[in-house]
Amino acid sequence: MAIKLKPVDVAIVGLGAAGGMAVLPLARAGLKVAGIEAGGWLDPHRDYHADEIHNNVRMLVTSVSKTKNEVPTFRTSPEQRASRATSNRTMMNAVGGTTTHYDANSWRFAPWDFKIRTDSVGRYGAAALPRGSTVEDWPLTYDELEPYYDTVEYEIGVSGKAGNIQGEINPLGNVFEGPRRREYPMPPLRDTGFTSLMTSAAGKLGWNGHRSPAAINSQPYAGRSACAYHGYCDTGGCHLGAKNSTAVTTIPQALKTRNLTVVDHAHVTRILSDGQGRVTGVQYLRGGKEYFQPAKVVLLGCYTYENARLLLLSKSKAYPKGLANNHGQVGRHYIAHWDGREISGLFPFELNIWYGALAQGVVVNNWADDNFDHSGLGFIGGASLTVNHELHPIAAAAMPLFSRAPSWGSRWKRFVNQNAGRWVGVYAQCTSLPYENTYLDLDPEAKDPLGDPVCRITSGSKENEPRARLYVASRAEEWLRAAGATDVIKQPLSSEGPNQSWHAIGGTRMGENPETNVVDKWGFSHEAPNLGVLGGSVMGTHGARNPTLTIQALAWRTADHLIRNWKSITG
Amino acid sequence: MSEADHEISRRELIASSAFVPLAALTCSSAAHAQTPAAHATETALSPAQMKILEAVVDRLIPRDELGPSAAEAGAPIYIDRALTGPNAGEKQTFVDGLAALDAFANSSQGASFTDLSPERRDAVLTAMDNGTATGFANSQQFFNRVRRLTLEGMFGDPFYGGNRNFAGWDLLRYPGPRLVVGPEEQRMDKLPEPYRRSAYGPQYGH
């Protein structure tokens, strides 16, 4: 029998990028919040190391126990039996969640991302929409999200250069971005020999090369130190607290109000609901005991796979197919971001990108979104192209060979001796759409140690994204060659897309229509009125950029909506 | 939940063996349980298996005018420690692979791998690399795994037993982890001076 705890106003499941953000406005508004997190507090001295084997090879920061037992299974068609996906490198349990190990690239999505369907049909006709895609416009516009982007940028501290302040364009920033109300709170991370090279190469091509926006302090900010540029913070954590993680930014602020209680090492097993279809609270295991935390409102804020899984597992009389799933939409419109570093260039000189952060980069957005004419190209969307610092030695030794050397022996040794510091990959992040053939459900066979099924990914073939990737790969090659690369190599891609992505979204999509969406435009369930969903799972399309800032702006907005409508939501 | 509650539940968790599987689920990061690899005394491979492994990695990264070989740099020690601890799950596959390699050396070149000339050793490894070697579950897969672990040993932090005297980092001209990196160290026209030091302190790497 579960131990029943004292009721709270809001129970949040997961204190990561999204849940760890929502706690702050809620606690400031005076609501009593229980933040229930599967992981614990990480200790920078004990848990973070400038060590590629620790962080990247063994993934000791990211692969903590609970998620390790819940790696989704993967298949490319409904006829197949799914097998364990290659890794669960992104999902992690800790106070701070994935923001512990993320690279902190902090982008706003483009205004176009919010209305892809309408804009594409308007400009290119109905045939432009990819076959089998379930894409809808987002139920909000960029302008509606802009105030929340701004709030979050200042709360966590983002370093960058604005390209559009209230319509005034500055080519030192991203000229394609939507209008923002003011400049970033800090200037971009340090310019280096390499960032100057790549910015000017973009300029030679007539493209807008600009610095990555990063939730890393380029100068001391809000009582936290500036970046020391030693690297090892991606897939690791920041020793100095210079990189945002909600564990060092919003969660400590929320704790100061005394309205937030952090319940760590707690494994949430079910969200409970009553006969009327209202959620009543959260059941979890902690220290070998089962607890029930009653709450007036539950906000589900896990990683995409766990958000969908927990809803599907939480069956009740009112929700026989899983919580908030009477329309069968939980798990639908799942998207693994088409991102990767398949294009590399070899240079006849040292780039010296060993140190620094992944978010210390240069980006080109000319071939993203609808920033170029797609007539006759056979796809919509595109990709942002990024090159960046932080190259680790094992990764450098495993560099592409550019058909110049064998993969072992003395000739290989000479090749890496000369070239390990002379190559760079271009990171391309592609607009990624939802499809009928790509979804999440519960695996009928694979289970976690508690006997609960793990999430199963079904990901069918697509045409739009591979075409876009092929197109932008050529643009990436032009960029590398303009910077002086002598050799460029492109690795092939599958048509099903990535197995698991660093950026997995969808599965509890946000939209006006309850027939095709799980949550409404504010992030609250169309079916269970006092259940909100936070995280990438609410997003209906993936923009050509890292998703975290958008996830955080949406989480803040959902919390804000709850505060403003407390009476009507809690009934 | 107060600190005191947390402590109580941790004690309960440790005391109650009935909850072991649950403890594994709700316990903290695997990082906390990491044994300092450099202090391990147990070995995964026998002396005979180690000799074969040393001979193999020395063809993958041989000694030459650019510096020490992988075995001289301690890569087999890294691999053995990995197979003892964090990679224990692949120990059997690895041991079977080494046995298959030696059997294939005998059948294709007429002697144990360690008794072959460098050219004949390369012929064995080339056949594994291109998948024509016989007697393996999957020779290419095993070859790639040995190669990958050799890279980890040669180019990873010397804390783990390989990259002795920073031979791997020197070969790549990787300047080594530093606590603070200034603008001078992020220029393209002048590379940073090598900082030959393990992230875990000056006692490692020699």
Give yes or no for residue A257 having a pLDDT over 70.
yes
Q: Which of B6, B19, B151 sits opposite A394 (nearest CB)?
A: B151
User: Which residues, at least 6 apart from A32, have a Cβ–Cβ distance to it below 8 Å?
Assistant: A8, A9, A10, A259, A261
d(CA A555, CA A22): 5
Q: For chain A, what is the largest distance between any 2 Cα atoms, rounded to a whole number of angstroms?
A: 73
Residues of A in contact with B30 (CB under 8 A): 60, 63-65, 68
Point out the residue among B19, B25, B183 whose CB comes nearest to the CB of A65: B25
**What's residue A497's pLDDT?**
67
- Inter-chain contact B25–A349, Cβ cutoff 8 Å? no
Instruction: Indicate the residue type of A463.
Output: E
* pLDDT tens column, A83-108: 988 665 678 899 999 999 999 999 99
- Chosen for mutation from A37, A53, A258 (greatest number of chain B CBs closer than 10 Å) is A53
Supply the angle between the helices B91-109 and B75-84 in degrees, to the nearest 10: 130
Query: For the CA atoms of A14, A17, A21, A22, what is the dihedral angle to 10 degrees?
Result: -50
Distance from CA of B92 to the nearest CA of A (A): 19
> Are A288 and B175 inside 8 Å of each other by CB?
no
CA distance A254 to A79: 48
Note whether B29 contacts A267, CB cutoff 8 Å.
no
Give residue A189's pLDDT. Answer: 98
Look at residue B162 and tell me whether its pLDDT is greater than 50: yes
Domain segments of chain A as ranges: 3-570
**Interface contacts (A, B; CB < 8 Å):** 206
DSSP annotation of B6: H
A-chain residues near B182 (CB < 8 A): 229
Classify strands A453-459 and A73-75 as parallel, antiparallel or unpaired. parallel
Q: Is any Cβ of chain A less than 8 angstroms from the Cβ of B25?
A: yes
Average pLDDT of span A107-117: 98
| Residue B37 pLDDT > 50 | no
Chain A partners of B195 at a C-beta cutoff of 8 Å? none
Mean of the pLDDT values across residues A455-484? 95
The residue whose two tokens read 């492109």 is: A490
Query: Residue A266 pLDDT more than 90?
Result: yes
- Beta carbons of B64 and A410 less than 8 Å apart: yes
pLDDT one-digit tens code per residue, B43-100: 999 999 999 999 999 999 999 999 999 999 999 999 999 999 999 999 999 999 999 9
User: For residue B12, is pLDDT > 50?
Assistant: no
Whether pLDDT at A501 is above 80: no
What ipTM describes this predicted complex? Answer: 0.93
In chain A, residues with a C-beta closer than 8 Å to the C-beta of B26 are 38, 65-66, 265-267, 285-288
CA distance B108 to B124: 8
pLDDT of residue A254: 98
One-letter identity of residue A478:
E
The encoded tokens of residue A511 equal 């939209």
Contact: B172, A393; criterion CB under 8 Å: yes
3-state secondary structure of A186: strand
DSSP letter assigned to residue A169? E
pLDDT at B17 over 50: no
B66 interfacial to chain A (CB closer than 8 Å) = yes
From A137, A139, A138, A155, select the one nearest A147 (Cα to Cα): A155
Q: What is the pLDDT of residues A168-180, one digit of tens each?
A: 999 999 999 999 9
Q: At residue A553, does pLDDT exceed 60?
A: yes
Give the model's confidence band at B18: pLDDT under 50 very low, under 70 low, under 90 confident, else very high: very low
Question: Which tokens is A519 given?
Answer: 């949550």
Find out whether A497 and A337 touch, Cβ atoms under 8 Å. no
Nearest to residue A548, comparing CAs of A214, A220, A240? Answer: A214
Q: How many DSSP H helices and E strands does chain B contain?
A: 8, 0
Q: Do A262 and B1 touch (CB under 8 A)?
A: yes
As a whole number, mean pLDDT of residues A408-423 equals 98
At A490 the three-state DSSP class reads: strand
Q: Do A53 and B152 touch (CB under 8 A)?
A: yes
Q: What is the DSSP string of A242-296?
A: -B--TTTTHHHHHHHTT-EEEE-S-EEEEEEE-TTS-EEEEEEEETTEEEEEEEE
Of A362, A307, A370, nearest to A333 by C-alpha is A307
Q: N- to C-terminal Cα distance for chain B?
A: 47
Instruction: Tell me what the mean pLDDT of segment A311-322 comes to.
Output: 98
Nearest CA in chain B to A54: B31
For chain A, say whether B206 makes contact (Cβ under 8 Å): no
Q: Does the pLDDT at position B7 exceed 60?
A: no
How close is the nearest chain B Cα to the Cα of A48, in Å? 9
Supply the pLDDT for residue B123. 98
pLDDT for res B29: 34
Find the CB nearest A49 among B181, B185, B199: B199
**Token pair for A285:** 């295991």
Measured between alpha carbons, how far is residue A459 from residues A178, A297, A466, A470 in Å? Answer: 32, 33, 14, 20
What does the pLDDT look like over B95-134, one tens digit per residue? 999 999 999 999 999 999 999 999 999 999 999 999 999 9
Beta carbons of A60 and B29 less than 8 Å apart: yes
Q: Is A346 a residue whose pLDDT tops 70?
A: yes
Contact list in B for residue A40 (CB cut-off 8 A) is 28-29
CB contact under 8 A, A230 and B179: yes
How many CA within 13 A on the CB side of residue B81? 22
B85 touching chain A per CB within 8 A: no
Q: Which B residues, 124 through 153, put their C-beta within 8 Å of a C-beta on chain A?
A: 125, 129, 147-148, 151-152
Q: Is the CB of B22 less than 8 angstroms away from the CB of A420? A: no
Query: B45 is written with which tokens?
Result: 């491979």
SS (H, E, C) A31-50: CCEEEECCCCCCCHHHHCCC
Asked whether the predicted pLDDT for residue B20 surpasses 50, the reply is no
Digit-coded pLDDT (tens) for A13-29: 999 999 999 999 999 99
- The per-residue DSSP string of B128-155 comes to HHTT--SSSS-HHHHHHHHHHHHHHHHH
For A131-161, what is each residue's pLDDT tens digit? 999 999 999 999 999 999 999 999 999 999 9
Say how many C-beta atoms besides its own lie within 10 A of residue A89's C-beta: 18
pLDDT of residue B77: 97
- Residue A60: its chain B contacts at CB < 8 A? 29-31, 34
Average pLDDT, chain B: 84
What does the alpha-carbon distance between residue A238 and residue A244 come to, in Å, rounded to a whole number? Answer: 8
User: Which CATH number describes the domain made up of A3-570?
Assistant: 3.50.50.60
Position A89 scores a pLDDT of: 65
Q: Is residue A508 over pLDDT 70?
A: yes
% pLDDT > 70, chain A: 98
Do residue B199 and residue A50 have CB atoms under 8 angstroms apart? yes
Question: Residue A427: which of A214, A112, A212, A153 has the closest Cα?
Answer: A212
Partner-chain contact A61 B9, CB within 8 Å: no
When CB atoms are compared, the residue of A264, A267, A397 closest to B25 is A267
Mutate one of B3, B26, B27, B90 to test the A interface: name it (highest A CB count within 10 A).
B26
pLDDT band for position B36 (cuts 50, 70, 90): very low
Closest by Cα among A146, A152, A162 to A111: A146
At residue B2 the predicted structure's pLDDT band, cuts being 50, 70 and 90, is very low
At A496, the pLDDT band (50, 70, 90 cuts) reads low
> What is the identity of the amino acid at B44?
A
